Structure 1
């Protein structure tokens, strides 16, 4: 899953693809590099980020969704708003990636109930402005699995089918670096919930702190791709459904190498 951020303030590449033409060109480039799905989002969810209005989010994403689906891409809409999800689906998107797992907008479950649209349910404890204050767990793996299981049950009660749901542990969302590493170490526990798993570690802060600059500052987001590729390999070897990344080419190369080793006699 290749990331297409149509935002001015995303932590990794905010502003680079903000104009629709630039975002579409970037998405087409990611397709050429081997992306299976393009995840188009118009709201930054970096720690501390403020939310755009619904109208602004729609203005950002709809032209990009239309253009990329017209070009033959499978598009996921990355949104927490039911209206944005519905409008994007009308424009050609075929998957909804909601980082709140249906919690931010009470209308989201009803909007997708009775459809076949795949819905990514991410582990979430609150909006970006204050989510890190909620990074408190007794056992992060057990707690995340329990909370995701509960949200799945709630969504099924609200009319979605288990078969259309995918899970995301929410790395970096109300998580410390150690929480993220523990979740990556125990992806089998998430797999044990019986639903496909999407992992989104790409360029996140905990990777930058793993290999800091000489002065101790975290490595810049654009310099975290090697660590990202390593987490993608770990996720692939755990059997996850997909990885959400900014650098598609290097990820695809690494996963092909792993597959070649696994397929060798």
Structure 2
């Protein structure tokens, strides 16, 4: 039996899956599953926050959770019940034309930047035919979706006129759509979203969570397409602002929770919303590490989680300032960190290598599930 926890009556509560196990075999009733996927856990970390500070942070075993929640005041009991239900609920598939992308295992989203100034691969793809071929190669290597962007979001990048952005991305999207390749459009501009969706894109991936352009939310709601809402401190101004955090994990969760409710309340189906904690956007090294270590908290939002940590600056900072093109090892480490915590989508530059890493991870997971784990 878990230790009895006294929670402040005014506290806001959070649940983070912890104590992960390789397999539920032989642990009936002792473990729970994240979002109908391949990750099981034996305890919830209950976090109670009062006035922006963690007053309580303690694990409660899955076996004790119902009794623990039942003993709480009604409002707190309802909060924990909703969070636990969100953590457990299978995520709906993404419909991408004739393709169906199931989210019961981590999928790879390949990055295709049609920009001259992106931090990692700017200028590599300035021809539509060559870019489309690069995207086809990603699909052949195992990418479930290709994320096409026409404006860099690196710190200090210049804004791009929407007409230029459309000219960069639409010819590529048209080629990919004809081939049946699932495509997301990486943009914060409503006009670009409209043009990309008309060209055959299936998903909108917005670093501003539909807050930079006042028409963006209307466009997504009318299209009925899936949308990725990424966290940044002040998306109406740009993705790299902000004044720091008291508790980045909790504050990012709260921000995304409010944004989900606002977007869903404006006509976007909740099942069409994905969330991204925004690694590297308006966050320090310590902030990024805290988010990565606490990723499983975001399953309490009830939406698929996308992790975009590929080749980010934090990898260089932790490895003798390795340049962007030499951050493969760190990128793979972060991708696997995400997979271990139940993340549904991994946005990466190095598709073949990430897919291989995930296949090995999946092989070990499958072996454990049939009772052959070590």
TM-score band (shorter)? over 0.9
Residue 331 (structure 2) aligns with:
228
Q: Classify 1:19/1:134 alpha carbon distance in 2 versus 1 (closer, same or farther; 3 Å).
A: same
Alignment coverage as a number of residue pairs: 260
The superposition leaves residues 100-147 of structure 1 with CA deviations (integer Å, 9 ceiling, x where unpaired) of 100101111111215431000000224698654415001000000001
1:2–1:247 contact (8 Å) kept in structure 2? yes
Which residues in structure 2 correspond to 1:149-228 (within 5 Å)? Answer: 149-212=257-320, 218-228=321-331
CA-based RMSD: 1.5
Which whole-Å CA distance do the structure 1 matches of 2:293 and 2:142 have between them?
26
Counterpart-to-counterpart distance in 1, 2:239 and 2:156: 8
1:35 is displaced (CA, Å) by 0.4
Deviations 1:27-50 (A, max 9, x none): 111111110000000000001111
- 1:215 counterpart residue number: none
CA contact (8 A) 1:47 1:129 kept: no
* 2:350 is equivalent to residue 247 of structure 1: yes
Q: Which residue of 2 aligns with 1:134?
A: 242
Unaligned ranges ≥5, structure 1: 213-217
Which residue in the other structure is 1:60 paired with? 168
Q: Are the counterparts in 1 of residues 211 and 235 from structure 2 also a CA contact under 8 Å?
A: no
Preserved CA contact (<8 Å) 1:33 1:249 = yes
What CA distance in whole angstroms lies between the structure 2 residues aligned with 1:99 and 1:43?
Answer: 11
Structure 1 consecutive aligned stretches of length 4 or more whose deviation exceeds 2 Å: 125-133
2:199 is aligned to 91
| 2:156 corresponding residue in structure 1 | 48
Question: Larger % of strand: which?
Answer: 2
TM-score between the two structures when normalised by the length of structure 1: 0.95
1:24: Cα distance to partner? 1.1
CA shift at 1:191, angstroms?
1.2
Partner of 1:3: 111
Residue 237 in structure 1 maps to residue 340 in structure 2: yes
Contact 2:211-2:236 at 8 Å conserved across structures: no
CA–CA distance in 2 between the matches of 1:224 and 1:176?
A: 18
Of 353, 362, 367, the match for 1:259: 362
Paired with 2:235 and 2:265, the residues of 1 have a C-alpha distance of 24
Q: In the aligned structure 2, how far is the partner of 1:92 from the partner of 1:61? A: 11
Deviations 1:192-236, CA, capped at 9 Å, x for gaps: 111110000000101111101xxxxx2110100110011111111
Gaps of 5+ in 2: 1-108
* Aligned mates of 2:238, 2:191 — CA distance in 1: 24
Higher Cα Rg: structure 1 or 2? Answer: 2
Match of 2:178 in 1: 70
Q: How does 1:118-129 map to 2 (within 5 A)?
A: 118-126=226-234
TM-score, normalised via structure 2 length:
0.68
8 Å Cα contact 2:240/2:281 also seen in 1 = yes
